[in-house]
Amino acid sequence: MGLMNNLIPFSLIVAGQTEISSGLASVLNATTPLFAAVVAHFATKDPTERLGPKRISGIILGILGVSILLSPKIGNIGFSGGEVLGQIAILGAGLSYGIAVVFGRRFAKEGITPVTAATGQVCASTILMLPLIVVFDQPWTFLPQISQDAIFSVLSIAIFSTAIAYILYFELIKSAGATNASLVTLIIPASAMLLGVLFLDEIVTLTMIAGMVFIGLGLLVIDGRILRFLPKKKPGI
C-alpha cells in the first residue's frame, strides 16, 4: 500500500503538475474509480465488485471524458509534449490508486483497523522514499532556506490530506467496498478547479468542464444511484 498508494502516485502527481494545472490534474485524478472498477473485476471474486453493463457504461463515459481532456494537447503538440506527458503521469497515478484501493480491501477482512492500516501505509512509504530522497534531493543542502509557508504547506498536506484522509479512506473501504470508496474522487475536480482559480490564477476552460462532466457521469453510472431517477418500465408494457 505504501508503494502503490503513496510513493508511485505521489511522485507521478508532483511530476505531472510541473507541466499541467492543478484543476486539470484533479480531473484526470478522478479517473481512479474507473481503474478501480476494472482492477476489482479481474482481481477479486466479490460479486459486488464485478463489471456489469452499468459499470462498463460508466467506464466508457469516463474514458470519453479523458479523451476530451487530452485531445487539444495531443492535436497541437503530439505525444512528445511536456503537457501531454504530465497528463499521462496523472493518469498513471490514477491507475496506481485504483490498484491500491482494491488491494486495501484485505485489511478490513483481516480485522486491521483503519488507523493501523493508515499508519502502516504512510510509515512504509516513508521508509521506501528515504533512500531516494538522500540520493536525489540531498535535503541537507537546502533545509536552511525553507520558508515558513513551505513548512506550513507540508504540515497541512501531511495532517489533513494524508493522515486524516487515509483513516477515512480505509474506513470507507471497510464499509463501502473498493470501487464505491474510490468514488469520493468525484468531488476533487470541482473543488480543485475552484481553489486553482481563487488562489493560483488558473483558468478553467470549456474543454476541462466537458471532460469533467463526462468523467462525473461515468462515476455516477458506476455508482448506480443516478439510475434510480430514471422512469421505470411498468409491467406488461
pLDDT at residue 123, as a whole number: 93
Q: d(Cα 223, Cα 229) in Å, to the nearest integer?
A: 13
pLDDT at residue 13, as a whole number: 92
pLDDT at residue 95, as a whole number: 92
Q: Hey, where are the domains in the chain? A: 2-228
**How far from chain centre, in Å, is Cα 142?**
30
Lookup: cell for 205? 476552460
Neighbours of 140 (CB within 10 A): 8
pLDDT at residue 221, as a whole number: 79
Alpha helix (H) residue ranges in 104-233 = 105-109, 114-132, 148-156, 165-176, 178-182, 188-199, 206-223
Low-confidence ranges of the chain (pLDDT < 70): 23, 48-49, 69-81, 183, 186-187, 189-190, 223-237
pTM for the full predicted model: 0.72
pLDDT at residue 61, as a whole number: 81
Taking each helix axis as running N to C, give the angle between helix 206-223 and helix 32-43, from 0 to 180 degrees, rounded to the nearest 10: 30
40 touches 102 (CB < 8 A)? yes
